[in-house]
Amino acid sequence: MTMNRREFISGAAVAAAGGMTSQSAAAASERTNTFPVLSGREFKGLEGAIAPIFTPYGKDGSINGDIVGRMVEFLIGKGISGFYVGGGTGEHVLLSVDERKYLAESVISAVAGRAKVIVHVGCTYTEDSATLAKHAEKAGADWIASLGPLVFGQNFEASYFHYSRIASATSLPLMIYCWYRELDPARERKFFDIPNLKGLKYTGHNFWSVQELKRMLDKEAVFFVGDDPHLLGGLSMNGLFSGGIGTTYNVIPEKFARICGLAKSGRFVEASPVQDGANRIVGLLSRSSNFSFRKLAMKLHGFDCGLARSPFGRPVPSDEGAAFLRELETTLAQIG
């Protein structure tokens, strides 16, 4: 007898489940939890799809607080479980310290305790980072996060000082951000000697290095996948990552929320086509180096976020913008 691929997968699943019926296998899948189980209060609810929200601007170039609030409602309604505020997607170093404070306050107020809020406080000047860390705690953030030193101090000693100073400014837990650089587990482990440094966002592809880092730690820590097209791959590292944080979550939040939900319950086969469809959108948004195109995509959801500030973003010719939105709308319809 010849067995097709679908029959083989179905049969293998039943065999793996010890001959369970499809109904009992599904029930067992729902009881599965592939995410880490962390006991600290600071980790409660910190999992799933976290959106690094765009910073929307009005016609005068100032931050549009009304759109911030509306986007928060939209994203929560689509299954987003947290917000990462003022990171790269939010144009961090292109905002003034006062603008970053206002953005954090706007998101925290709109969220109103319904989701976790991580405020990115990394700045070129460490003392500005410390100022933002203090403000984030006062404003009601759940966590703070930071990149390492920007431009200057590109070494371990300067990075350790930078993170230590930020951590000392607040009692909030701190998440560091490894962005497209080699993650050296032995080096990174030393940062976790800082008492309230308890998490890492990893935008890279070497998940084994994150696994090695976790094995070296003598305290609880949370890890998030930061590379959108590799979310499912990271979540397949059983018990390592608690979810993901990525730009495309703003545009197709329900897809990334679903990937996280399916992966958490061990339903990786079901999650695979969702990731495949999401990656088509990632590819489309990444086609241009002009970040303004990514913000333009939010117009399909009724949000005019304005252009990204230069040099990150540039004006988008009207014909190119219209063609981009048509292609995006067609692709969204195709992936369902």
Residue 206 DSSP SS3: coil
Query: Is 11 within a domain?
Result: no
* Domain of residue 237, residue span: 40-266
308 DSSP 8-state letter: P
Tens of pLDDT, residues 280-334: 999 999 999 999 999 999 999 999 999 999 999 999 999 999 999 999 999 999 9
138: its two tokens: 């006062």
Query: Is 33 within a domain?
Result: no
Tens of pLDDT, residues 84-139: 999 999 999 999 999 999 999 999 999 999 999 999 999 999 999 999 999 999 99
Tens of pLDDT, residues 229-251: 999 999 999 899 999 999 999 99
Query: Is 170 within a domain?
Result: yes
CA distances from 134 to 28, 88, 143, 170, 334 (A): 45, 20, 11, 6, 46
Helices (runs of H) and strands (runs of E) counted in the chain:
13, 8
Dihedral angle sign, alpha carbons of residues 205, 308, 251, 285: negative
pLDDT band at 11 (very low <50, low <70, confident <90, very high): very low
Query: Is 272 within a domain?
Result: no
Nearest of 177, 113, 122, 181 to residue 142 by alpha carbon: 113
Report yes or no: 81 and 116 within 8 Å, Cβ to Cβ.
yes
Query: Is 86 within a domain?
Result: yes
Q: Are strands 48-51 and 197-203 parallel, antiparallel or unpaired?
A: unpaired
pLDDT band at 181 (very low <50, low <70, confident <90, very high): confident
Give one DSSP letter per residue of 67-81, joined into a string. HHHHHHHHHHHTT--
Nearest of 45, 49, 65, 48 to residue 57 by alpha carbon: 65
Q: Are strands 82-85 and 48-51 parallel, antiparallel or unpaired?
A: parallel
Q: How many domains, in total, are found in the chain?
A: 1
The pLDDT mean for the chain works out to: 92
258: its two tokens: 């679903």
Query: Is 294 within a domain?
Result: no
pLDDT band at 19 (very low <50, low <70, confident <90, very high): very low
Query: Is 15 within a domain?
Result: no
Q: Can you give the pLDDT at residue 319?
A: 98
Q: How far apart are CA 46 and CA 142, in angstroms?
A: 9
* HSE of 61, CA atoms in CB hemisphere, 13 A: 5
Query: Is 279 within a domain?
Result: no
- The CATH number given to whatever domain includes residue 238 is 3.20.20.70
238 DSSP 8-state letter: T
